[in-house]
Structure 1
């Protein structure tokens, strides 16, 4: 949108007031809009292509990132994550991150302290530590919060031996040993613990999630 068109929108709004706007008011409004654009340029948007007008999450496998968009398609948060070491795929026991449209079908761990260990989807009294990881270096620690994903594309990530829910594919917190920005997980989307807490608080149950191999 050009500055001229943005100014015209403001001016048209002023003309719709119960009384006609004065020249000074119109000039002040136009100046305000132009200055605001200079201070903070209009943000590019990326709308939810599955449910237009609804907030959504994009997980980029290539970029090892997760972005949260609001209902207008404006990016609200951007995080570095870690997806599957074995790449993208949907088959059960593949230990790969599934692609395509999902939604968050359950949220677990509300109120748990950072680094709390979640085992078999139950919040435990135990905490992750670097020392504990050294004792069990191959353990896939699930910490702090879980956003459990359900696939929405039958035959691709829903049903049969490609069902993301049955595969227990989560967005979840992970320990400090993770090489963030690199694929290291057994299929899930790993996040830093402060990040998963923030995402958990900002996203409703049912929010759409697109896992894109090329993003």
Structure 2
């Protein structure tokens, strides 16, 4: 399982009570929330229901989980690009808590809440996404290879 800690902008891969890996992350610049169209990061227990992008080049741009064949430029400074690209690897999340992150108008799967790479690596560690959990590209490749479909993800304040 892993934990996304919004207050720390960190992701922790855990086994039992032990932290195995720590990664900087970036959650929504609009804050915490579950409503469709809010662009906020939802709280609660989720699971990975799909993994997309195995073996593709770092920077590969996806649109609706489909490889576009294009490669994004990666920024390591504070550049904030206009478009919110989903790149490199995607771990698709579905909420497991009815009324919290599962159900009409609040469903994380329907909202397309993902863990994914970003071209804005210089913004990792501070809220900058549109609801998803962003990671540095090398980190998202490593995590992608470590976790399986069905892995639990706890997003907490």
Query: TM-score under structure 1 normalisation?
Result: 0.69
Q: How many residues align?
A: 153
Displaced runs of 4+ in structure 1, greater than 2 A?
Answer: none
1:113-166 CA-to-partner distances (Å, cap 9, x unmatched) read 1111111111121100159xxxx9310011000000000000110010000000
Structure 2 residues not aligned, in runs of 5+: none
* Aligned pairs for 1:128-167 within 5 A: 128-129=72-73, 137-167=81-111
The alpha-carbon deviation at position 57 of structure 1 amounts to 0.7
Q: Which residue of 2 aligns with 1:113?
A: 57
Q: Which residue of 2 aligns with 1:60?
A: 5
**Take 1:191 and 1:86, find their aligned partners in 2: how far apart are those partners?**
17
CA separation of 1:185 and 1:176: change in aligned 2, threshold 3 A: closer
Q: Which residue of 2 aligns with 1:101?
A: 45
Give the strand-richer structure, 1 or 2.
Answer: 2
Give the helix-richer structure, 1 or 2.
Answer: 1
- Cα RMSD, aligned residues only: 1.4
Ranked by relative contact order (alpha carbons within 8 Å, sequence separation 6 or more), the top structure is: 2
Task: Indicate the SS of the match to 2:123.
Answer: coil
Q: Which residue of 2 aligns with 1:69?
A: 14
The alpha-carbon deviation at position 74 of structure 1 amounts to 1.7
**Take 1:150 and 1:187, find their aligned partners in 2: how far apart are those partners?**
13
The alpha-carbon deviation at position 179 of structure 1 amounts to 1.1
Query: TM-score under structure 2 normalisation?
Result: 0.93
Q: Which has the larger radius of gyration?
A: 1
Q: Select the residue among 138, 141, 149 that pairs with 1:197.
A: 141
The alpha-carbon deviation at position 111 of structure 1 amounts to 0.8
Structure 1 residues not aligned, in runs of 5+: 1-55
